[in-house]
């Protein structure tokens, strides 16, 4: 069984014609703008401190109630040396100077002199609550350093991207 409702206009109690935005269904949930940035430069890290990987983008939300959907895609890798048999690299998404999400980068367990990697993708839905230009960037670090451990972002100079989408509220 199916039903169909057709009408030429919907009138509000005051007699005015209703609009989608006036009913709160017009622009809500739509994408207002998309910003993308890329890098193809491999960045290595042997430290337990987060360091920039050269991937960032800025967006200026049109409303303080807008959200920003962030997508990061990259080629990641890690290596262990003869003195280590494990590696855990972490990726961090930062808005301005504030960490908003942390993700697993590369993990190697129980193998010395090993290299492992692959393509990774990370997403986050952020609420920056501003109409000022807002920069998002990616950082990486190791959980334990030394003994030949190294993490790589944009491994072998493969393309990495960050995409910012304003979700209208």
Distance CA 57, CA 77 (A): 23
- 49: closest CA among 136, 140, 137? 140
4 or 64, which is more confident: 64
Q: Is 16 part of any domain?
A: no
Name the E strands within 16-168. 31-39, 43-45, 51-59, 67-79, 86-95, 98-109, 115-126, 134-142, 150-153, 160-167
Q: Is 20 part of any domain?
A: no
* Percent of the chain at pLDDT exceeding 90: 64
- Report the CATH number that the domain containing residue 70 is assigned in CATH: 2.60.120.1340
Q: What is the pTM of this model?
A: 0.81
Which domain covers residue 48, as residue numbers? 31-167
Q: Is 63 part of any domain?
A: yes
**Interval 52-102: pLDDT, tens:** 999 999 999 999 999 999 999 999 999 988 887 888 999 999 999 999 999
Q: Is 111 part of any domain?
A: yes
The three-state secondary structure class of 86 is strand
Tell me if 44 sits within 8 A of 52, measured CB to CB.
no
């Amino acid at each position: 069984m199916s039903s169909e409702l057709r009408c030429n206009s919907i009138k509000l109690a005051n007699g005015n014609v209703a609009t989608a935005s006036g009913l709160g269904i017009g622009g809500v949930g739509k994408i207002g703008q998309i910003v993308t940035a890329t890098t193809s430069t491999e960045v290595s890290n042997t430290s337990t401190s987060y360091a920039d990987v050269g991937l960032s983008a800025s967006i200026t939300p049109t409303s303080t109630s807008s959200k920003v959907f962030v997508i990061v895609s990259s080629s990641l890798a890690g290596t262990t040396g003869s003195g280590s048999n494990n590696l855990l690299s972490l990726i961090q998404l930062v808005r301005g100077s504030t960490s908003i999400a942390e993700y697993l980068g590369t993990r190697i367990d129980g193998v010395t002199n090993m290299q492992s990697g692959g393509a990774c993708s990370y997403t986050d839905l952020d609420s920056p609550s501003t109409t000022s230009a807002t920069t998002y960037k990616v950082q990486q670090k190791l959980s334990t350093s030394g003994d030949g451990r190294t993490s790589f972002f944009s491994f072998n100079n493969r393309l990495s991207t960050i995409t910012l989408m304003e979700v209208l509220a």
